[in-house]
Chain A
Amino acid sequence: MAKRKTAEGDMLQGTLDMLILQTLVLGPAHGHSIAHAIEQRSEDILQVEHGSLYPALYRLEDRGWIAAFWGTSENNRKAKYYRLTHAGRKQLATEASRWERLVSGISRIMRPAAE
């Protein structure tokens, strides 16, 4: 339990959750392709710590933001797919707006002050 609390307070962790949710907006995907999608779409600026990807997926699933199902991968192998749930969409909206505010706040500080 204690673990989860610090995870929630961890901004990066929250960010990873948001990125996963955002990736799944396009449609269901399995863990490997989610990681790839994040890396590719950020033009490799964001490297997904794969070690934390799976715990994050389970966490999101537990909160009911994503749902998992077993499907067949592009090369015909059994794979676990994740899709966004309705709650997940709402959560994504919340996270996105929080993120915007955060980014604008940070950028205001980082921009040289025009006095």
Chain B
Amino acid sequence: MGWRHLFRRADRVAESAEELQFYLDAETEDNIARGMPPEEARTAARRKLGNPALIREDVYRMNSLGFLETAWQDIRYSLRTMRKSPLFTLTAVFTLALGIGGNAAVFSMIRTILLKPLDYSNADRLVQFMSDDPKQSGRDNTFTQRQFDEMKTEMHSFSGLGVYLDLPENMTLSGNGEPKAIQGARVSANFLHILGVRPLMGRSFVPDEEKPGGPAVVMISADLWKTRFSGNPKVIEKAITLNSTRYTIIGVLPEGFSFPFTQMDVWVTKPSEWSALPSRYWYITSWLIGFGRLRPGTTIEQASAELNLASHRYAMAHSDRNEIESMRLVWLKDRLVTNVRPTLWILFGVVGFVMLIACANVTGLLLARASSRSREFAVRTALGAPRARLIRQLLVESVVLSLISGLLGLMLAKWALSSMAQISALNLPGVGDIQLDGVVVEFTIALSAITGVLFGLFPSFRVSRPNLADELRESGATAGRSASARPRVIAVSTRGLLVVGQVALSIILLIGAGLLMKSFARLQDVDPGLQPANLLTAKIALSPVRYDTGEKRLAFISEATQRVNSIPGVRDSAIAMSLPTTRWLRTNIQIEKQPWEVDPEKWPVVQIQSVTPGYFRTLEIPIERGREFTERDNSFGAPAVVIINESFARRFWPAYPLGPDPVGQHMREGADRTGWMEIVGIVANVHEGSLAMDPLPEFYIPCVIHPPQTAYLAVRTGGDPHGYINAVRKQVQTIDRDEPLSDIKTMDEVLDATLGQRRLTMLLLGSFAGMALLLAVIGLYGVIAYSVSQRTQELGIRRALGAQQGDILRLVMSQALGLTLAGIVIGITGAFALTRVMRNLLFQVSATDPATFVGIAFLFLLVALVASYVPARRAAQIDPMAALRIG
């Protein structure tokens, strides 16, 4: 009939009422005229017209928009029924919102981090070298420049091959305003060519510029260009000072360019010349990562095989190492997220599980509600509602429910993501960009609509076929007893199955979370080898120009520790080349009186650490044997001495602590060839890399041998280290105001940062698993409580026939126990199959850790017993007389 009538409908209804009244009056008058008595005349007129209500309804329907109209009715009806049962609605909406919100949040993360393509031309041909060693799977394979150059000549699958330095380099930008700490990347000259990116302005590097001694040129980010040079187009050829070295700007990179790391400010070439390292290490240490563009028509497998061959050849020719590292290529896009990829997919699976549990829960709720509404549907059917209409009504109800939950879920996801962005420890590429974009919103709405249809369809088909006579005859309380009870018994067992499924899924999640928690606890129990409490740390990047000699650096370092020591409350301080978990440096060594190769490159590789004498005292690293460094050791001309760690001692004196004493022996460093140094002490192991890595053989030398360019300060304070930050900063600045402290953190924070991602994964998985547990328990409770209410009469009869309260309690609890046990068995089987996917996330815990499996099963059993005790208790307290009377 059209919209117009829809809005005018009220008028028309009133009009027709008036018209019909007129008809009745006119007909009555006619009848009176024919000689009928007035009463009879009116009745006859009524009879002739028929039911005015039906006529009006006909007219009303004519003025309706059919489907739309009734859909709107259904929606309003749904909202009304939802308002009438707020507890059900709240439970269902929040259950679903949690599930949907979790999915939306994790989907946003996956979409931003894993699915968005790289912004490079033909980015699908870009690959990166990766170690294939299962022990360090997911870690990049690093090379020396020499190794890379030699291997490069044997590889032909690439249209371009380049390297970049494995770490972002901290630099100080000075001149043209306040000195500023910035981040730089070291890349081979051809990096833009390989990536297929053109500079926004200026040009890219040329090959000469990457050679040692080549001109110092730099490319800057669009951001830096705008903030520091106010977007001046004449920035090209301008000079800037980085770490006190003058560089010429040759180009500006496009907005958002983030290779090889995020938030780079400048790019320089000469990839090996990392200013944090003493220059003699530059070309002999492995810090470079290879990447390249595959030639058209070459598969990644072919190129991988070629790479492996080249790597083997190189190893045969040069290395003493018996194990040759196997390598493979990974797509560049994948590698940027290698470490988070499995975590994210696991999380996605986890929220999927939670979603399933939530759906099962809401389906259970809807089933229960549908059963209790069966009378309502019977009445509606009796009044002429077609079955399709009833199904649609129920579908609309569930879709409305899930859409509301979807909206709420979106809000939850938005909130979750914004709080996640605060967690810097996540350290994901583009974590700041994660947001709910249109696709995610569409995903969420589609998810909730599909969910609504799925869990709405099931109950609606069941209840839309009511047995009219029975339903209408019986009262709601006793329905479920007579012949018509058959479908409902099935309903209970359907709900039972749903509960079993929920229990199984949450068992899997709980076990997963349990394994992660156990790993985390193990990791936190790892003795870092030092005392992190009350230890303040900071970084000083000494300018390679102004502190170009070891003497200058040593002078600064000695004065810094002295000045910091003079601060009241400071107990000790030390400076080292690196701090545990920040970074580490390796070198080749040779032990006196042990067999050795002629080529120093074939000597064993161990970690080297350059420290001031107070280092072990300050970090409280126990001395196992011998002595620590003295001030005399740390002065020029003193006999060279080293201190080794326990791993070092065990590696080269396998009988340690028995057998020959390493103290008093001599060793020398391959790169330096300074001569023999005496081992004067042995200290406990320190986890240099990260807590999850085993401590490697390591030796310490006094600062005087290698005064570090970038140094780390450690201060042992009397109280809360944060209170000392200003004093320490001030003391260091009095030496040289252009050498600011950066990365000021407590050692606890430093160690904690290495746990950040694990903690986040654990927290996420833990909370999802907790949610799952809660939902499953609610589901279980619901089913038991419902079945108790349905069996009131039966239980009453049992009581009347002599069953004790305890018998009833046992009867009901055994039903709950049956469901739970079935779920636990399925869940544990599933967990056996599934937890292996998270093996890489675990630390010193087997993916099928029996203690976790059993513990979780018992935990669940306990919770399930508590949850079913409440309804069971109610069942046991049923008054037999009252229960029988209802019938």
Residues of A at the B interface (CB closer than 8 Å) are 1-4, 30-33, 36, 49-51, 54-55, 58-59, 62, 73, 75, 77-80
Contact = CB atoms under 8 A, between A and B. Distances in A.
Nearest to B5: A62
A51 B22 contact: no
A29 to B, nearest CB: 12
B450 interface: no
A43 to B, nearest CB: 17
B66 A51 contact: no
B122 interface: no
B40 interface: no
Interface in B27-58: 27, 29-30, 48-51, 54-55, 58
B67 to A, nearest CB: 8
A50 B48 contact: yes
A74 to B, nearest CB: 9
A62 B1 contact: yes
A57 B54 CA distance: 15
A80 B26 CA distance: 12
Nearest to B16: A54
A51 B50 contact: yes
B62 A55 contact: yes
B25 interface: yes
Contacts of B19: 30-31, 54, 79-80
Nearest to B50: A51
A33 B19 CA distance: 12
A82 B5 CA distance: 19
Given A4-B62, A54-B59, A55-B58, A32 B51 contact: no
Contacts of B1: 62
B15 interface: yes
22 contacts: A3-B58, A3-B62, A4-B62, A30-B22, A30-B26, A31-B19, A31-B23, A32-B27, A50-B48, A51-B51, A51-B54, A51-B55, A54-B16, A54-B19, A54-B23, A55-B55, A59-B62, A62-B62, A73-B26, A78-B22, A79-B19, A80-B15
Nearest to B1: A62
B300 to A, nearest CB: 59
B25 A77 contact: yes
A79 B49 contact: no
A47 to B, nearest CB: 9
A54 B20 contact: yes
Contact of B22 (A2, A50, A62, A73): A73
Nearest to A36: B30
Given A58-B16, A80-B18, 18 more contacts: A31-B19, A32-B27, A50-B48, A51-B49, A51-B50, A51-B51, A51-B54, A54-B19, A55-B55, A55-B59, A58-B62, A59-B62, A62-B5, A73-B22, A73-B26, A80-B15, A80-B19, A80-B22
B465 interface: no
A32 B31 CA distance: 13
Task: Pick the 9 closest A-B CB pairs, nearest first.
Answer: A51-B50, A1-B66, A32-B26, A55-B58, A50-B49, A80-B19, A32-B23, A79-B22, A54-B55
A70 to B, nearest CB: 9
B66 A2 contact: yes
Contacts of A51: 49-51, 54-55
B61 interface: yes
Given A55-B55, A75-B29, A50 B62 contact: no
Contacts of A33: 26
Contacts of A80: 15, 18-19, 22
Listed residue (A3, A33, A50, A59) with the most chain B CB atoms within 10 angstroms of its CB: A50
Contacts of B51: 51
Interface in B587-623: none
A58 B16 CA distance: 9
A50 to B, nearest CB: 5
A33 B67 CA distance: 36
Contacts of A1: 65-67
Given A50-B49, A54-B19, A77-B22, A3 B55 contact: no
Interface in B1-24: 1, 5, 12, 15-16, 18-20, 22-23
Contacts of A77: 22, 25
Nearest to B66: A1
A32 B18 CA distance: 13
Nearest to B15: A80
Nearest to A50: B49
A52 to B, nearest CB: 8
A63 B545 CA distance: 94
Nearest to B54: A51
Given A50-B48, A80-B15, A58 B26 contact: no
Contacts of A59: 62
A10 B19 CA distance: 25
Listed residue (A1, A30, A33, A36) with the most chain B CB atoms within 10 angstroms of its CB: A1
A115 B62 CA distance: 50
A77 B28 CA distance: 14
Nearest to B68: A1
B572 to A, nearest CB: 88
A97 B51 CA distance: 34
Contacts of A78: 18, 22
A1 B29 CA distance: 37
A33 B49 CA distance: 14
Listed residue (B5, B12, B18, B49) with the most chain A CB atoms within 10 angstroms of its CB: B49
Contacts of A49: 50
Nearest to B22: A79
B283 to A, nearest CB: 83
Contacts of A4: 62
B389 to A, nearest CB: 12
B586 to A, nearest CB: 80
A1 B63 CA distance: 9
A20 B66 CA distance: 27
A55 B55 CA distance: 7
Contacts of A36: 30
B50 A50 contact: yes
Contacts of B59: 54-55, 58
A75 to B, nearest CB: 7
A78 B19 CA distance: 9
Contacts of B25: 77
Contacts of A73: 22, 26
A30 B22 CA distance: 10
A77 B25 CA distance: 10
Contact of B23 (A2, A50, A58, A75): A50
A4 to B, nearest CB: 7
B721 to A, nearest CB: 77
Nearest to B19: A80
A75 B33 CA distance: 13
A73 B26 CA distance: 10
Nearest to B58: A55
A4 B1 CA distance: 10
Contact of A3 (B23, B29, B61, B67): B61
Contacts of B67: 1
Listed residue (B5, B16, B30) with the most chain A CB atoms within 10 angstroms of its CB: B16
A49 B16 CA distance: 17
A78 B59 CA distance: 21
A79 B29 CA distance: 15
Nearest to A58: B59
Nearest to A62: B1
A3 B63 CA distance: 11
A2 B1 CA distance: 12
Interface in B50-109: 50-51, 54-55, 58-59, 61-62, 65-67
Nearest to A35: B23
B652 to A, nearest CB: 91
A58 to B, nearest CB: 6
Contacts of A55: 55, 58-59, 62
Contacts of B12: 58
A4 B22 CA distance: 26
A59 B51 CA distance: 19
A36 B26 CA distance: 11
Interface in B392-414: none
